[in-house]
Structures are given as structure tokens and as C-alpha cells.
Structure 1
Amino acid sequence: MNDHSNGGTIIAVDNGWWLLGPGIGGFVVALGVLGFGMLRRRQAVVLTGTVLLAMGALLLVGGGLLVADPKAGLTEALKTGGLGAGSVVALYALWLNDRRRQVEEQRQRLDTSRAEHDRERVSDERFAKAVELLGHEADQVRVGALHALAGIARSRPEYAQTVLDIYCAYLRRPFEMPDEKKGESRYSREGEVRRSAQQLIRDLLPKTGADGPRYNLDLMGATLSRLDLSGRLVGGMRIQDATLHRVTHLDGAEFHGNVYLTRATFKGPLNWDGARFHRRCGLGGVSWAQRPDPAKATFSTPDQPCG
């Protein structure tokens, strides 16, 4: 209604009109929430919903203030409503940052997965190629293949037991030691390849005292020379029917699985000073060039006579 006094004109607005502000604000808020719910995955629509929510908050809070306190001026109502609208915008900014973070994390996971897949593929290809080269005629190529497998085992520990199995399989191949009595050189080309395999087995085994994996060795029936596992941590070991030339070093080694030396032939001495056999050690039918002292090793089971 209009009120004329002292020659001036004052426009007074009925309080009923201010009820329209909260009503519109509530409608806009509801519309914005609906927009979020239906199309929350589309950033442009989310932004539109945010604008609608901010406008709704402005009208709802500002209009509500004028309804609750008619004496409050329009400026105060706008300030208060602006705070509500600003809160909505701040929430949108937080949501947007979180959304970007999630997208970035997902991208990083995809990149990591892709890199890991490529790494596995390259390792598999290198592994297959190295195994193939073990059958090459040239001894230097076979030595290179052995070292390539060792590199794979070091970079991909899950390959280590498989690589050790391949080394053991190579050493189980038939091999005749050179007969020095017949004037044959002790250093044959194949002998050098086999010594490389033995050395790489030692290198891949963890040292005693380390909290490392316990790998198994299967050298049953193998022809070995100067086998050296001293100071190494081993799981189980099978050397049944093997022939071991020169000095065999097991001193300071720890065996956490069963060890079978059954029917093995030791052409040279066996040094097992300080070795620890945590499980059974089968020594039946062993042929000794020089019988070792069982008191120098530690056995965990009572049936350990030197066969």
C-alpha cells in the first residue's frame, strides 16, 4: 500500500509479498537438487544446478530473514542471502576438486596398470628368449642366457624360483667331467657354462640371517664341481644320485626344508661346518671320498648318521 506524509512518498510492502521469496527460493532449491540427482555426472549441468541452488539460497535465506524480521533492511537480507549462496558455491568448488582428484587417481591407476602390463610382457619375452638360447651351440651364448635369466629374477622376484629350476635342470643334463689322467683339460667349454650356472644359483639365494624367501633346489643326478652354497639360505634340496667333484661347500648354510643326499657320490671333501639342517637330512647310501664330521653341523632330527 502507499502512504503519503510530509509531502514525501513512502512505499510500504505488505509482508505477504516477502513470503513469495522463500517460496521461490524453496522451489529453486528443489529444482537444483533434482538437477544434481538426475544429471550429476555432467559437469555443465552440475554447474547449472549450483547456480540455481545459489539463487535459491539467496532468495530463501534473504526472504526468510525479511519474513522473520520485517525491520531488517533489504541490504542486510541480501548480505545474509549472499552468505548462503556463497556456501553453495563453496560446496560446489569442494565437489569439483574432489572430482578432479578422483579422475587424476583413476588416470594414475590406469597408467600404472598399463606400465605393469608392458613390464610383464617384456619380461615374459626376455624370459622365453633366454630359455631358447640355452640350447644354442655357442657356449658364450648359453652363458649370456644364464645371466639374462638372473637379471630377470632380480628385477622380477616372482621369477626367481622358476629361474633356479631352469638352472638346476641345465645342471641335470648328462655331462662327463674331463679326465685329467687322459690329458684332458679340466676347463671344458661346457664345464665353464655349468660353473656359471652354479655361481648364479649361489648369487640368487639369500644370505643366512636375511629375511628372504626360501628357494628349493633339485639337483638330483647332476654332475657338479665345486658346488658352493656356503652362507646361503635354502628351502629344500635334492642331490640324490648326484656326483660332486672337488670340494663341496655347505658351511654356514641353513636348510629349512628336507635335504636328500641319498646315494650321492662325493669325489672330494664336503665342508658343512656350521651348517644347520632344520628338517630331515637324508644321508643313506652316500659314497664319501672323505667322511665329514657330523658334529660340525647342526641337525634337528635324530636320524642323521653319516651313511
Structure 2
Amino acid sequence: MNFFFKIKENPLLSLLIILLILLGIVFVVVMCFEDPKKIFKLLGVSEKEQPKYEVLKFLGISMGGILIALQALMSYKRAKALEDTAKAQADAANAQANAAQAQARANENTEQGLRQERLKNAIEHLGYEKDSVRLGGAYELFHLAEDNKDLRKTALDILCAHIRQTTGEKEYQEKHESKPSEEVQSLLTLLFVQNHEVFKGLRINLQGSCLNGANLRNARLQGAILTGAYLQKAKLDGAHLQRANLVEAYLEKASLSEAHLQEADLFYVRMQEAYLKQARLQGACLRAGFLQAANLDDAYLQGVDLRDVRLQGAYLPGVRLQGTRLSFLYLSEATLSGAKLQGAGEQSWTSSTPFACRIRQSINKESDVSRLVFGDIEPAGVDLVFEGVSDEKKKLIRERLRPHIGKPMSYGLPEDSDAITGAYTEEEAEKWIAEYEKAMSEVPKDDS
């Protein structure tokens, strides 16, 4: 049936088949009749020639031509059919792809709607009075950030704002004067210690937060805004605080052993009795800081701005102060045994000068300790000098300072200081720069 349908639909094919049939009939007649003279005459074949041979030759050529035409026609039809099939398949594939895209958009819209709903619920939970509900909302926000990169900055900003708001309330500060609440400590651990990779490269803003006694050991707080934050007795050992803003922060008695504070801004910081053994502060700004009775044993302070810093009674054996900017550094009763002051003194660099340039500027430069200040303590001013120092520590230092009270101000190093002065070499400078650059290469770029 399909064959006859194709013949009916294609006149050219019908004509070729009819011609082929007619030629076949003629061929049969020629072969079967002994005297087909009339047929010869119709075909224009002379009787003098070999009529039968010529007729067969003519029929053969004609039938061959028709067969070739039929084959060409069928090949064309097959090619056309294949082309139509390919086009149909392509159209079907495009339709399927469009349907898949439409479904993907629908799924995305659905997921986006679910994310927005989760975000809304989490924010609402943060406003509850019950600690456990607020903490649940905070964890929901964290998991949203963990699952959706686009929401990470939003989630971090909300969680930091929640910490600032919670710890900024007077009632909270009175109740948690020396130790954070379980809610706040859990958030600090979650965001900056255990799962810090989620917010890598994003700016942390905990400005003015009350985090006294917080456990932030090995926390990742690079570039964090901690201006005016309260971190008294906080545990920050091994914490990463490179380029952090700690201007006017309160870190009295905080533990910062082996902490990373390269290029941190510690202007006017209060770090009385802070424990900074082997802390790394290369290139930091400590200008006008209060570090009375602080422990800086074997700490790294190369290229640091130490103008107007109060270090009375500080413990500084082995501290590395090469290439530092020293001007009115108050050191009465400070322990300076083994302190390395090569190339330290007045410097021409500014706060924006890179660490490498600071260090290279002082290569082969002799120490200038003419502005180190000793003495000049009024009898009534001892308590003011050691403001922020515990009464027990203050009593011990007062006894040590007794010979200096009421004495005129003196400059330069005492003869018995045992500090190391002189100059450092280019080889030493390049070694410090390489160590510094290696440490800073691990600091994530700011993606805020």
C-alpha cells in the first residue's frame, strides 16, 4: 500500500515506471515474435540492418536510462527523507532543551523562593527572646550561607550585626562582663574557628562588640573590624588577625601568644598585661598604645610604628625590634635583655609604606635610641601610668619603680639593659621580608 501511495503522490515516478513497463512489453514482443517487422518500422529500424540486434540495443539503453533515473529519484527521496528525519529530530531536541530550560527556571524560582523563605524565618528567629531559638536562627543562616555562595556576605553581615547588637546591650554586658554567653561563644566558634572557610575573604565587622573572655584560639579574623571591641582576657592564641582594625580596642590581659597581627592597626590599643609571646606584628601600627606590663618575649615587631607607646614594666627579652620607628617609647623598668634594636630609631617611612620598603630603608643603619624614655614618673602618677593593670601586678611594679619616681626624665638605653644595638645586613633584611611575604600570602583576598 505504501508503494502505491508513493507512486500516486509522485507523477515523475509514475511516468518512469510506465515507460519501463512499455519498454518491457516491447522487449517481450521482439523476443517472442518471429516477424516483428511492424515493430521495427515503429522504432525506425531498417530491415537491411540487423533489426533485432538494433532493437534490443535501443531497448537496453532506454531501460538502463530509466533504471538510472529511477535510482537517482529514489536516492533523492531517501536523502530528502533522511533530511526531514534529521530536522524533525533536531526540532524535537530543541523542544526538549527548551522544556528543560523552562523546568530549570521553574526549579530555580522555586529554590529561590525557598531560600527567601528560609532567610526570612532565620531573621525572625534571631529576634526571639529565648537564646536557644536565636541560636537556631543563627545556625539556619549559617547553613543557608554554606549552601548558597550568593548569600554568604548577607548571612555574615546579619550574624555579625546580631553579635554586635546582643553584646552591646547594657544588661548583657553586666551579666557577661568576663565571659561571653553560650549563644555568643557558639557563634564565634562556628563562624571564625570551626567553619571559617565558608566566609573566606569576606569582611568581618565586630566593631564595639563586648567579647571579654571569649575563646578565639586560632580564629580567622583577617581584616576584621574590631574597632573599640572589648577583648579583655580573651584567648586569641594563634589567631589570624592580619590587617585587622583594632583601633582603641581593649585587650587587657588578653592572651595572644603566636598570634598573627602583621599590618594590624593597633593605634591607641589597650593591651596592659597582654601575653604576646612570639606574636607576629611585623609592619603593624602600635602608635600611642598602652602595653604596660605586657609580655612580648621573643615577639616579632620588625618595621612597627612604636611612637608614643607606653611599655613601662613590660617584659621584652629577645623581642625583635629591627627597623622599628622609635620615638618617645616609654620603657621605665621594662626588661630589655636580648632585645634586638638594630636599625631602630627615627624613620622616614609613613604608615602607608610597605613592609619590605621599611626594612630595606634601614639596612646598614645604626640604631638610634636617643628617644627611648626612662624615668619622669610623678609620685601621684603611678596609678595613672599603670591604669588597666591589676592591683597585684601594679603593687609589684610600684616597688620596682620606686627608684625612678620623682627622678628627671632620661633618654637612651641604660648601661645595664643588655639590649642589642647596631645595624643589620641586607641578607638579614631579605630573610625577614621573605618570611613576612610567605605569611601574608596565606591571607585571603578581600571579596567583600
Above 0.5 in TM-score? Answer: yes
Which residue of the other structure, out of 193, 204, 210, is the alignment partner of 1:223? 210
In the alignment, which residue of structure 2 is the partner of 1:205?
196
The 5-angstrom pairing of residues 1-307 of structure 1 reads: 6-7=35-36, 9=39, 72-173=64-165, 174=168, 175-176=172-173, 178=175, 191-202=181-192, 203-206=194-197, 213-224=200-211, 225-228=213-216, 230=218, 232=220, 234=221, 236-249=223-236, 251=238, 253=240, 255=242, 258-271=243-256, 273=258, 275=260, 277=262, 280-293=263-276, 296-297=279-280, 299-300=282-283, 302-305=303-306
CA shift, 1:177, in A, is 5.1
Question: In structure 1, what residue type is equivalent to 2:196?
Answer: L
Report the aligned-residue RMSD: 3.5
* In structure 2, C-alpha distance between the alignment counterparts of 1:161 and 1:12, rounded to whole Å: 97
| Cα offset, 1:253, TM superposition | 2.5
State the shift of 1:217 in Å: 0.8
Q: Distance in 2 between matches of 1:273 and 1:304?
A: 20
More helix by percentage:
1
Cα pair distance change 1:220/1:147, threshold 3 Å? same
TM norm structure 2: 0.46
- CA shift at 1:138, angstroms? 1.1
* Residue 205 of structure 1: how far off its partner (Å): 2.1
Q: Which amino acid aligns with 1:192?
A: E
Q: Is the 8 A contact 1:136 1:142 kept in 2?
A: yes
Measured in 1, the distance between the counterparts of 2:135 and 2:81 equals 68
Q: Is the 8 A contact 2:253 2:273 kept in 1?
A: yes
| Residues 293/246 of structure 1: CA separation in 2 closer, same or farther (3 Å cut) | closer
Counterpart AA for 2:280: A
**Cα–Cα, structure 1 residues 12 and 77, in superposed 2: closer, same or farther, change >3 Å?**
farther
**Contact 1:229–1:249 (CA under 8 A) maintained in structure 2:** yes
Question: Which AA in structure 2 matches 1:239?
Answer: L
Q: Tell me the residue number matched to 1:58.
A: none
Write 1 or 2 for the structure with the bigger share of strand: 1
How far apart, in 1, do the equivalents of 2:276 and 2:123 lie? 40
Q: Which runs of 5+ in 2 are unaligned?
A: 1-22, 44-60, 285-302, 310-448
Give the direction of change, closer, same or farther, for the CA distance of 1:163–1:229 in structure 2 (3 Å limit): farther
What per-residue deviation string (whole Å, max 9, x for no partner) do you get for residues 96-152 of structure 1?
111111111111111111111111111111111111111111111111111111111
Q: Which has the larger radius of gyration?
A: 2
* Secondary structure of 1:299's aligned partner: coil
The 2-side partners of 1:242 and 1:252 are apart by 16
Number of aligned pairs?
237
Report the alpha carbon displacement of residue 213 of structure 1 after superposing the two structures with TM: 3.9
Q: Distance in 2 between matches of 1:12 and 1:247?
A: 121
Q: Percent identity?
A: 17
User: Structure 1's 85 and 235: CA in aligned 2 closer, same or farther, altered over 3 A?
Assistant: farther
Q: What is residue 50 of structure 2 aligned with on the other side?
A: none
